[in-house]
Amino acid sequence: MSFAAPFPAPFGATPSGLPIERWTLRSASGVEAAVLTYGAVLHSLSVPGPGRRPPAGVVLSLPDVKHYVTHGAYLGAVVGRFANRIAAGSFTLDGTRHHIPGNDRGNALHGGADGFDRRVWRAEPCERPDGAASVRLSLDSPDGDQGFPGSLRVSVTYTLTSDGSLTLDYHAVTEGPTPVNLTHHAYFNLSGDPDRGVLDHLLTVDAATYLPIDETGLPLPGTPAPVAGSPFDFTRPRRIGARITEPDVQLTRAGGYDHCWVLDDRVRPSGDGQLGLRRAARLEDPGSGRVLEVHTSEPGLQVYAGQQLDGGFSDFLGRRLGAHAGLCLETQHFPDSPNRPDYPDTVLRPDQILRSRTVLSFPHLTAVAP
């Protein structure tokens, strides 16, 4: 199978004058993805409907760099150094207390106010034996960056395969111990129309428990809570909007869904001898017939239903991005892990390499008609 090599095009510049590139990846399946060097943003993901029906853009995006700098909302970005929240922006590592500037109700969110989503990454095409379209984006984060210890070198590689799957491979090494938790913040809408929103999409999350939160979005002390019988039970396909307005204290605290699910421990080998993957979620749009499945090596999935999108900015077609215009399925470690020894460890040390993988696939493209 032959692929078109990924290629860059100019995409404006930051306010300080740094040029931004837009790299396009294409697959024989008809799927096309475009990635920005600003924030390592997945700027577009165009996916045909069943039966090779015309493609539609299935991630929310903004028209230019200025809008990403001004409005952001993390649309499509890789976030870090630590995705999700750190309580009061503080943690102790090897006896030393570290402080990250708070940017969300006193907590540090997604690496602080100047996180990886606001950096200019370096991009280079990757050669693969199968010829799949692939681009690697790299970033150097110095010791003390946003208060985090240890200089960190991080990369994310986007690869588009022949069946239309988009793989994100994360890699990081450090010169000093530091917590690292990377995720991708795409807002999915499989209809291709943000005006329709995602409340009628069907969601399945492969998790029997989730992490209840306090009023600031931090996980409560104690063990994960069972989803059974609650509005958080997506163990079978259910409309996202089916129970989102119920008078549940957890829904009230987040204004809807913005919680981390603890993924079931069903890991399948990846075939490369390095990472195992588990299915995290399945998203379906009954109107278009498009289906997205998310597989990951990460233990958690933050589901955010986009309730804080307020229509204050528009996409490249001028469509306002209002509440529930898209759904985030953020594969990651658990929130506030640096302060929670009961959670899986997120500390990366100089003798270690961080590797993480998330695969976005579209089963409707390979389904065999009856």
AA identity, residue 338: P
Q: What confidence tier does 2 reach under pLDDT thresholds 50, 70, 90?
A: very low
Other CB atoms closer than 10 Å to residue 10's CB: what's the count? Answer: 9
AA identity, residue 259: H
What is the percentage of the chain residues whose pLDDT exceeds 70? 96
Whole-angstrom Cα distance, residue 257 to residue 197?
14
Please say if 185 is a catalytic residue: yes
Identify which of 337, 346, 357, 356 has the alpha carbon closest to the alpha carbon of residue 177.
Answer: 346
Does pLDDT of 7 surpass 90? no
Whole-angstrom Cα distance, residue 304 to residue 319?
21
Does pLDDT of 273 surpass 60? no
Identify which of 112, 118, 109, 101 has the alpha carbon closest to the alpha carbon of residue 16.
Answer: 118
pTM of the full structure: 0.96
Catalytic residue among 185, 259, 324, 333: 185
Position 370 scores a pLDDT of 45
Identify which of 194, 203, 292, 192 has the alpha carbon closest to the alpha carbon of residue 244.
Answer: 203
- Residues 6+ away with beta carbon under 8 Å from 334: 84, 211, 219, 260, 262, 299, 300, 340, 343, 344
Does pLDDT of 67 surpass 90? yes
Mean pLDDT for the stretch of residues 249-256: 98
Mean pLDDT for the stretch of residues 62-66: 96
Whole-angstrom Cα distance, residue 286 to residue 199?
11
| Weakest mean pLDDT among 68-72, 221-225, 272-276 | 272-276
Averaged pLDDT score across all residues of the chain: 95
Q: For the chain, first and last CA: distance in Å?
A: 26
CA 197 to chain CA centroid, Å, is 18
Whole-angstrom Cα distance, residue 99 to residue 237?
41
Catalytic residue among 21, 32, 298, 330: 330
Position 162 scores a pLDDT of 92
Does pLDDT of 369 surpass 70? no
Does pLDDT of 105 surpass 50? yes
Position 129 scores a pLDDT of 83
What confidence tens digit (pLDDT) does each residue in 210-248 have? Answer: 999 999 999 999 999 999 999 999 999 999 999 999 999
Does pLDDT of 368 surpass 70? no
Position 319 scores a pLDDT of 96
| Weakest mean pLDDT among 107-121, 228-242, 354-368 | 354-368
Q: What confidence tier does 25 reach under pLDDT thresholds 50, 70, 90?
A: very high
What is the percentage of the chain residues whose pLDDT exceeds 90? 91
Beta strands in 175-229 (DSSP E): 178-179, 183-184, 187-188, 202-205, 209-211, 225-226
Mean pLDDT for the stretch of residues 195-211: 98
Q: What confidence tier does 4 reach under pLDDT thresholds 50, 70, 90?
A: low
Please say if 330 is a catalytic residue: yes
Mean pLDDT for the stretch of residues 325-352: 98
AA identity, residue 205: V
What confidence tens digit (pLDDT) does each residue in 282-322 have? Answer: 999 999 999 999 999 999 999 999 999 999 999 989 999 99
